[in-house]
Amino acid sequence: MSQTFRPTPLALAAVAAASTLVLMSTPQTADAAKTAGRYVAGDFHNHSTCSDGAVSMQKKVKKSMDRTSETPWGLDWFVQAGHGGNGNRNCTLPEDESLATPAYPVVRNSAGTVQGPTTTWQNSTPAVNPKGSVSGSSPSQAMWRWQAVKEYQYPLMEYLAAYRNEPLFIGTESVVAGHEHSSMTVITGQMPAAAFTSPLPTTRGYTAKGNADALAMWQYCFDRGNSDVSRGAENLWNCAVPGSQNEGNADWNASAAKLNGANGNNGHLKTVEGLKWMKQFHPDASYYVPAHLERAGPFNASGNNGFNVEHLRNFNNAAPRVAFGFESQPGHGAADQRGEYTLRRNTISGTNVDSVGGVTYGGTGVYAAQVGGVWDALLGEGRNWWFFASSDWHSRGSFSVDDRRSDQDFWPGEYQRTYAMVRNGGQQRLSPQMIVDGLRTGNAFAASGQLIDRLAFVACASYPGVAARSNASVEALALQAARNGTDTDVTGCATMGEKLTLRPGAEVVVAIAVRDPSGINHSPYAFPNPSLKQVGITQPLDRPVLDHVDVIRGMVTGFRAPTAADYAGAWPDSWVDLANPQQLRALDSVPAAAKNTSAALLRTFNSGNWTVAAADSEYKVMSLRVTNVRNSQYLRLRGSNLPAAVPYETDAAGNPLPDVWTNSAAIRAKTGSTVEYAANAMLRIPCTTVGSNLPGSEVFNGTGINGCPSHMPVVNGQKMVAYDVAAWADLWFYSNPVFIEVSGSTAVAGVR
């Protein structure tokens, strides 16, 4: 099913007016002096019981940030998120004494029963009453997220940041008007220096030194899940955006001082207004990153489904410093439908439509996983549009949250990590501003399963004579940067999120250095990877090895006008060919707006043509030369532990195949609720290893499970790969691009 979003005159006028600001986007200039920094790992999309998660904020922070034998995956920075809208559970109450602190101790009711994070706000001791236009019945009335963030979640997060001396702050997963979800924040007011220098309380209660008032206001004004019309009670917020229609819009609610529009095209316009508000009032202190954006299917002009390519363009046009990327590598990696992407997921106009692309591809959505797809279309315009990954933590599914096994989610940092260059200038503490600035630059990469944990990706200009550069010299730059966990600061060179400017005919020397860490990763499974066993490779799941690195190149042809025929278009439905499991579809049926046919694999590196660093075999170094460069272009990387032509995992060119073959959930028919494919019908990869360390129903918090676990689905008496085993078997990393702008060719307008 193909749907095309046709912008209204209002939308076109708003976007066209904003598009002149695209040139003001500010990723790091390649030749500018750089503040010292390092790549640090974090997560900005996860959930507690404030929304639909299973644990308190305290437990989520501990499980995400601690570096102990129980949680060896501790992150460097962390954003507490959670759905916008409302919730009735008090996520600030710790589960038990192990999580208690002086300011937030274990709380008991009058009967002596511990009140944990599933206790409702109104059943808490003392009772907490929601404000505004309250919904529900006491004692389970829901609290609007704006109140929870402002009055309860932010003070606790500030306290934990100071108590633990760690870089923590607050964001949300917005319920997006007209679409599905986006990870976002406004950090204005959060985590001031005084929070880290003032004495902490020794008794219950904490008064924050900073605030999350701006984030709370955004939640009231622009989140689709917020139908409060109280203006934030005593806050008396006014959601008007300077230069917009506001009261002149038919959807404006004068008493609530905000737009009502929440669905389809009107909802999209409301979301663009939210971005314009962020750009107007908090341009350096906010980000807006559509989350698992393929999951809900194509955009629905009458509902709230996914994002087509034109919506991403509209966001980036309206606020290029705020809307600068997407989470096309979703969380929920251990679910029975990886990423919770599935065929026939949503019903639009009576037809069951797929998640865009049908499923994930090696854990990544089709917008980024498909070479020449939506991401390449956006990069081919020269936009600052970056790739991120997240955990989307909610729970372990059928397992205890403390179990190392999972049939739903991984803890933040356990499986997926976004590594961003954060320029701290030698300061020990990373501030929220440093982290947001780092994300904005696009100098970042994402990896699953600890496939790599260091990456340097450098492109340098080379001219005849004294300005010539050898491959070896640029490889040395990359290796030094990777070893130091930082990037390069050399005139005439650029890295991820940057632009290298050349004269026509120059050569570009590209060097890559990655660390493929030795030892075990965070997987609890020590038995051989079942996917690799299919091709005769014996490699334990907890000791993955980087098989190859792909260099992908696309040409830059410039920004597309909102009125152009190739600006808008929906990805085709029914993308997965269930009758032909080893064949990826061609891009012929994809509209011109959603593809870049110039994008292609430029070079693949593996053990046959990369170099192992002297005295440190964890580092792999490789390089190539792009000669006679006359057209503006970009280069990006991906890599995997899987070689090409692994059945049901990769095609003959090494592209990831659809994850439908390890998804165990039933699949509906195209119409109605009839099941066309029963549970486990699509499973194809056997899990055959029999082990001696096979935990049962007890909580397992160790490592070294040496045989196929008992929760693997069984088909005709044979265990089959699914859930967390499927995720640990199939690992990928993605880098953000390096742009190359050739004088006299197309300007890379989105990157300075």
pLDDT value at residue 22: 35
pLDDT value at residue 32: 54
Give the span between the Cα atoms of 750 and 752, in whole angstroms: 7
Residue environment code for 347-382, b if the CB has 16+ CB neighbours within 10 A, otherwise e: bbeeebbbbbbbbbbbbbbbbbbbbbbbbbbbbbbb
pLDDT digit string, tens, across residues 644-682: 999 999 999 999 999 999 999 999 999 999 999 999 999
13 has a pLDDT exceeding 60: no
Give the span between the Cα atoms of 406 and 410, in whole angstroms: 7
Amino acid at 310: E
pLDDT band at 19 (very low <50, low <70, confident <90, very high): very low
Give SS3 for 82.
Answer: coil
Spatial CA neighbour of 723 closest among 332, 414, 292, 293 = 332
pLDDT value at residue 9: 31
pLDDT value at residue 662: 98
Q: What is the DSSP letter of 586?
A: P
Give the span between the Cα atoms of 568 and 593, in whole angstroms: 5
pLDDT digit string, tens, across residues 668-723: 999 999 999 999 999 999 999 999 999 999 999 999 999 999 999 999 999 999 99
Give the span between the Cα atoms of 514 and 549, in whole angstroms: 9
26 has a pLDDT exceeding 70: no
Hey, which residues does 223 pair with through a beta bridge? 176
388 has a pLDDT exceeding 80: yes
Give the span between the Cα atoms of 410 and 428, in whole angstroms: 28
Give SS3 for 350.
Answer: coil
Cβ neighbours, 10 Å, residue 31: 16
Residue environment code for 426-450, b if the CB has 16+ CB neighbours within 10 A, otherwise e: eeeebbbbbbbbbbbbbbbbbbbbb
Burial of 164 (0-12, 13-18, 19+ CB in 10 A): middle
Amino acid at 740: I
Give the span between the Cα atoms of 713 and 687, in whole angstroms: 10
pLDDT value at residue 752: 85
Beta strands at 738-742 and 633-640: parallel, antiparallel or unpaired: antiparallel
Cβ neighbours, 10 Å, residue 613: 17
pLDDT band at 198 (very low <50, low <70, confident <90, very high): very high
Percent share of the chain, pLDDT over 70: 96
Residue environment code for 173-187, b if the CB has 16+ CB neighbours within 10 A, otherwise e: bbbbbbbbbbbbbbb
Give SS3 for 477.
Answer: helix
User: For all residues of the chain together, what is the average pLDDT?
Assistant: 94
Contact between 556 and 381 under an 8 Å Cβ cutoff? The reply is yes
Spatial CA neighbour of 537 closest among 683, 450, 641, 687 = 641
pLDDT band at 426 (very low <50, low <70, confident <90, very high): confident
pLDDT value at residue 7: 37
The mean pLDDT value for 229-234 works out to 97
pLDDT value at residue 210: 98
Give the span between the Cα atoms of 173 and 365, in whole angstroms: 18
The mean pLDDT value for 126-136 works out to 94
pLDDT digit string, tens, across residues 488-520: 999 999 999 999 999 999 999 999 999 999 999
Spatial CA neighbour of 433 closest among 198, 188, 197, 194 = 188
Kindly give the residue spans of alpha helices, DSSP state H, lying in 512-583: 530-533
Percent share of the chain, pLDDT over 90: 93
Give the span between the Cα atoms of 55 and 580, in whole angstroms: 42
Angle at 701 between CA 697 and CA 707, to 5 degrees: 65
pLDDT band at 579 (very low <50, low <70, confident <90, very high): confident
Unique residue bearing structure tokens 């305290």: 58
Give SS3 for 320.
Answer: coil
Give the span between the Cα atoms of 469 and 118, in whole angstroms: 61
**Token pair recorded at residue 467:** 């300005």
Give the span between the Cα atoms of 76 and 148, in whole angstroms: 25
Spatial CA neighbour of 512 closest among 539, 550, 547 = 550
Burial of 132 (0-12, 13-18, 19+ CB in 10 A): buried
Q: What is the DSSP letter of 507?
A: E
Cβ neighbours, 10 Å, residue 466: 5
Phi, psi at residue 271, to the nearest 5°? -65, -40
pTM score of the predicted model: 0.95
pLDDT value at residue 428: 83
Q: What string of H, E and C letters represents the secondary structure of 203-223? A: CCCCCCCCCCHHHHHHHHHHE
